[in-house]
Amino acid sequence: MKKELIFLGPPASGKGTQTARLSEYLGFPHIDTGSLLRAAIKNATPEGLEAKSYIDKGALVPVEIVAAIIKNRLAQDDCKNGYILDGFPRSVEQADILEGINAEIDTEPADFKAIYFDVNMDLLMERIIYRRSCAACSTIYNLKTLPPKHEGACDCGGELIQRKDDNEETAKVRFETYFNETAPLTDYYKAKGVLKVLDANGEIEDIWNRLLQVVG
C-alpha cells in the first residue's frame, strides 16, 4: 500500500536527520517544499513565475500557488509508492488542502500518517545551542552529543559555523511560533486517527528504530 508520510515537530526535534535516512530506506522521495518552490522559480514554471512575482514584492506566496506546486510534484511517477512531505502542511487550512490533493491523486487507498516528533524542551534547546554545520558539506554536528573529530572543523576539513538564529533567545521565539501556529495540527490529525507520536528523545539510532516501528 502506498505510504504518505508527514513529519510534525518543533525546531531541532530531529525530523531532518531521520527524513533523509527514511527516504533512502523506503525508496521514495523526501519532498522539501522550500526546495520545491525554489526549483519552480528557477525553472520558470507557470506557478514558479507567479510565486516569484510575490517574492519580488516582498509578499508571502499564496498557499494556493504552493499547493499547486506540491500537487504537481506528488503526481510524478516516483511518488506512486509513497512520499515524505517536509514543510507542508503548517496549518489546519493547509492540512485540508493536502487532503484534497491526495484525494485527487490517489487511485487506490493509501496509508497516511502524521508522525509527531515528541522531544523534551530542555533537550530541544540544547540541540539548538550546541548545533554546528559544515560550511563545505553541510554536515550537522552537536558539540555536546555528536562532536567532530577535531574541534572547530568538520571531518571533511571544512569550517564549522553556527547559524545566527541558533541561540537561546531566538529559539524561544521559534518554539512559541511553532506551538501557536503549527501545533494545532496534532489535534487535527489525532481527530482523524492518523497521528502517530514518536519518542524522539535519546540517541539517533534509537529514534530510528522507533521510527521504523511507527512507519510500519
- Name the grid cell of 18: 531521520
Question: Mean pLDDT score of the chain, rounded to an integer?
Answer: 90
Mutual angle of helices 33-42 and 46-56, in 10-degree steps: 100
Q: Does 9 have pLDDT greater than 80? A: yes
Q: Domains, the chain, ranges and CATH?
A: 3-119+183-215 (3.40.50.300)
Q: For 84-112, write each residue's pLDDT tens digit.
A: 998 899 899 999 999 999 999 998 999 99
Catalytic residue among 3, 71, 174, 210: 174
21 in active site: no
Is 163 catalytic? The answer is yes
Q: 52, 90, 113, 210: which is the annotated catalytic residue? A: 90
CA distances to 64, 69, 151 from 14, in Å: 29, 26, 23
Q: Give residue 20's pLDDT.
A: 85
Point out the catalytic residue in the list 38, 42, 144, 163.
Answer: 163
At residue 35, what is the residue type?
S
**Catalytic pick among 2, 73, 127, 131:** 131
CA distance 146 to 153: 13
Total-model pTM: 0.80
**Contact present, 185 and 114 (Cβ < 8 Å):** yes
